[in-house]
Chain A
Amino acid sequence: GAGVSQTPSNKVTEKGKYVELRCDPISGHTALYWYRQSLGQGPEFLIYFQGTGAADDSGLPNDRFFAVRPEGSVSTLKIQRTERGDSAVYLCASSSRGLAPYNEQFFGPGTRLTVL
């Protein structure tokens, strides 16, 4: 079946602009996660949705970052007033159950964001 998809695959923007990154999870998966990965580092957690609500947004670095999942499926990560330090690969993952630890997460290929 179809895996997690993310669009766009690459996004180049200018400092100060607004960007939206989209994630389509595996159909039926109730849990959705966003991570970002800087060069040479492991992925860093940003936010986790269970259904439509954000169950844990402790990883969002500041109030320029916001994510929504209005219908419990597709999610959009929104970044306002982008900064060069926001350049990274943004990864989305989904899983079928919200009860840890049986929580295998399926990752998408990521969106590479470059802020000039």
Chain B
Amino acid sequence: DAKTTQPNSMESNEEEPVHLPCNHSTISGTDYIHWYRQLPSQGPEYVIHGLTSNVNNRMASLAIAEDRKSSTLILHRATLRDAAVYYCIPMRSNFGNEKLTFGTGTRLTIIP
């Protein structure tokens, strides 16, 4: 599995954009990049995923570097509810390799 590097923690002011980086320099050409987050005392929840192009959904945007060695999760307008640990997870496209390999993630603190 590809290794990932994320900052241990980040802070952001409420209602401002947040850019959460992830380095995944050993990613294979067919690995998708998934992001999950874990709110306090809850199980993780899916945020977004992508392969090469930038992706948008109702929760966030995902910007993937052209060489795919890094990506950035963008929360356009952070709210207090976005305080969570964010995990960047490369996943192989092979059928049968279903496990999510979590690192230690980035703990995001939102300042009111």
Contacts and interface: CB of A to CB of B under 8 A. Distances in A.
B99 A107 contact: no
Interface string B12-45: 0000000000000000000110101000011111
A93 B92 contact: no
A56 B96 contact: yes
A45 B101 contact: yes
A8 to B, nearest CB: 15
Interface in B78-97: 85, 87, 91-97
A25 B72 CA distance: 31
B87 A105 contact: no
Interface of A: 4, 31, 33, 35, 40-45, 48, 50, 55-56, 58-59, 91, 93, 95, 98-101, 103-110
A99 B91 CA distance: 12
Given A42-B87, A101-B49, A101-B91, A33 B99 contact: yes
Contacts of A48: 98-99
A109 B41 CA distance: 7
Q: Do most interface residues of chain A lie in helix, strand or loop, or is the interface mixed?
A: loop
Interface of chain B, main secondary structure: loop
Interface residues of B, number: 29
Interface of B: 31-32, 34, 36, 41-46, 49, 51, 85, 87, 91-105
A45 B100 contact: yes
Contact of B99 (A41, A56, A108): A56
A103 B104 contact: no
Given A101-B49, A105-B46, A59 B91 contact: no
Given A42-B104, A42-B105, A100 B91 contact: yes
A103 B98 contact: yes
A24 B87 CA distance: 25
